[in-house]
Each structure stands twice: as C-alpha cells, then as structure tokens.
Amino acid sequence: MRIDVITIFPEYLSPLELSLIGKARREGLVDLHVHDLRQWTLDRHRTVDDTPLGGGAGMVMKPEPWAAAFSAVREAGQAVVGGDTEPLIIFPNPAGAPFAQSTAQEWSQCEWLVFACGRYEGIDERVYQHLSDIGCEVALASLGDYVLNGGEVAVLAITEAVVRLVPGVVGNAESLVEESHSDGLLEYPLYTRPARWTDPAGVLREAPPILLSGDHGRIATWRQEQSLARTRQRRPDLLAPADGDTAVS
C-alpha cells in the first residue's frame, strides 16, 4: 500500500516512523511519504491561507497550493503504482462521515491513499469540486463529534487503524478477529497469569474459573455473553438499530 500525507506540519507525522507502522514501512509493506504543502506555494512568505470571502472569523486554506500538491503527488505516485491507478483522497474533517472499523477494513484494501490535512477553518470548497471533476475519489472522514486543530492527529489515528489491517503487518492475524468492533461488539474481558492474584490492597482476585476449565466451547460462549453484556452497558448505541433503519410498512 502507498500512503501520501500532505500537511503544513510534516514533523507532526513523525510517530509514523515508530512501532508497528515504522516496522511495516521498513519491511516494504507500506510506502509512506509525508509532504510539506508549503513547497507548492509561489510567494516569498509561502502563504497557504487567506481571510474568508464574505467575512467571518479565522482563515481559509487557499486553493492553488492544494491543486498543485495533488497534481504533483498523483504524478509521483502514479510513476510507482501505475499510470492509471487513482488514489483515494481522504480529508480528515469534523464534518465528514464517521470513521469506523468498517471504514478501516475498506481502506486497508486500497492500493493508494492520499491524506490532505486541513488547518484553520478549512479548505476552499473549490478544491473538492476540482478533484471530483478530474475523476478523483474523495472522502471526508471524522474521528468523532469534537474539533481538533487540524487533520494531522486524525491521520495518525486513521493510518494506524488502516495499516494494522494490511496483510502481514500484524504478525498474528487471528488477534484481529476477536478484538473490539470487529464483529460490532466490544471485546470480552481478558486475564493472564497468575490466576489467583492478591492486589496491593490485600484483596484476593481470582480469574473466572471457566477460563481454566480447558472447555473451549464453553469459554467461547462465556466470552460471547461477556461481549454482549459489556456492549449493552457501555455502548447501547451499537446494539440499537440506527435512526432511519426501521422498516416503514
């Protein structure tokens, strides 16, 4: 998988050199490039923003550097992934569609992702129109209902969620099957040795005996029940049918 990130804060993405993603990059499973948007400015001050037309607070990112950036990044990427391959262009944005495990699954199958990190109040709307006019697939993705200062932190989160699903990145693929959200439920509680543990307050805490029974069928059933109970308590919204999903007779 190829990933390009366009940002005015390239250093913000340096954690992508660490841990699992860093290893995936070194092993050639992920070809990740971070670009400074300001390299596509033409003025002495390397300006990427201006005041909003029509007035209002804050600043808006200018269209010209973004159009030049996409053009250059597409061309450089196509030289590697193939001339008729188009990337999925992802704009982290609090007004986007909620990013979920299902989104991560879908995007982990993509050959090429380009992340465009907006800052300030946002990017000039004509950039989105231009990209869809030239046939690019564009997605707006949100991490949740709160506001970050820019897309960089969201790119760290989304990249981690996506890249760990790329085949070969996580050593034990089975560990991806039973985790929270992979089947729409939260994960069951986990225990390890010692099975009998006295905590620092002097309380003896025993792991559920069923986990020591060796009966894999009953353990699987118990875990399923625990997942369901935990989801009902912490995230009832995951069990309720979404608004608008109810059949109309």
156 contacts: CB under 8 Å, gap ≥ 6: 13, 15, 16
Closer residue to ligand 6GU, CB minimum distance, 29 or 139: 139
- Least Cβ distance, residue 112 to ligand 6GU (angstroms): 20
Give the range of 14-22, 136-144, 169-177, 227-235 binding ligand 6GU by CB under 6 A.
136-144
Residue 165 touches ligand 6GU, criterion: CB under 6 A: no
The three-state secondary structure class of 44 is coil
Q: What is the bridge-based pairing of β-strands 60-61 and 49-50?
A: antiparallel
Closer residue to ligand 6GU, CB minimum distance, 34 or 152: 152
- Least Cβ distance, residue 147 to ligand 6GU (angstroms): 5
**How far apart are the C-alpha atoms of 180 and 227, rounded to whole Å?**
9
Closer residue to ligand 6GU, CB minimum distance, 77 or 151: 151
Residue 184 touches ligand 6GU, criterion: CB under 6 A: no
Q: Which of 8, 112, 131, 142 binds ligand 6GU (CB under 6 A)?
A: 142
- Least Cβ distance, residue 115 to ligand 6GU (angstroms): 10
Q: Which of 68, 72, 110, 148 binds ligand 6GU (CB under 6 A)?
A: 148
| Residue carrying structure tokens 């391959």 | 85
Closer residue to ligand 6GU, CB minimum distance, 123 or 186: 123
Q: Do residues 8 and 47 lie in contact, with contact meaning Cβ atoms separated by under 8 Å?
A: no
The three-state secondary structure class of 114 is strand
244 is in an annotated binding site: no
185 contacts: CB under 8 Å, gap ≥ 6: 227, 228, 230, 231, 238
Q: Do residues 56 and 26 lie in contact, with contact meaning Cβ atoms separated by under 8 Å?
A: no
Instruction: Enumerate residues 88-127 that contact ligand 6GU by CB under 6 A.
Output: 92-94
What burial class does residue 226 get, using C-beta atoms within 10 Å of its C-beta: 0-12 exposed, 13-18 middle, 19+ buried? middle
Instruction: Enumerate residues 39-78 that contact ligand 6GU by CB under 6 A.
Output: none
**How far apart are the C-alpha atoms of 130 and 119, rounded to whole Å?**
19
- Supply φ then ψ for residue 148, to 5 degrees: -95, 165
Residue 150 touches ligand 6GU, criterion: CB under 6 A: yes
Q: Which of 8, 143, 165, 186 binds ligand 6GU (CB under 6 A)?
A: 143
CA distance readout (Å), 43 to 8, 36, 64, 91: 15, 15, 12, 25
28 is in an annotated binding site: no
Of all residues in the shown chain, the one whose CB is closest to ligand 6GU is: 92
Q: Which of 13, 113, 154, 162 binds ligand 6GU (CB under 6 A)?
A: 154
Binding site for ligand 6GU (CB under 6 A): 92-94, 141-144, 146-148, 150-151, 154
Binding residues for S-adenosyl-L-methionine: 118, 143-148
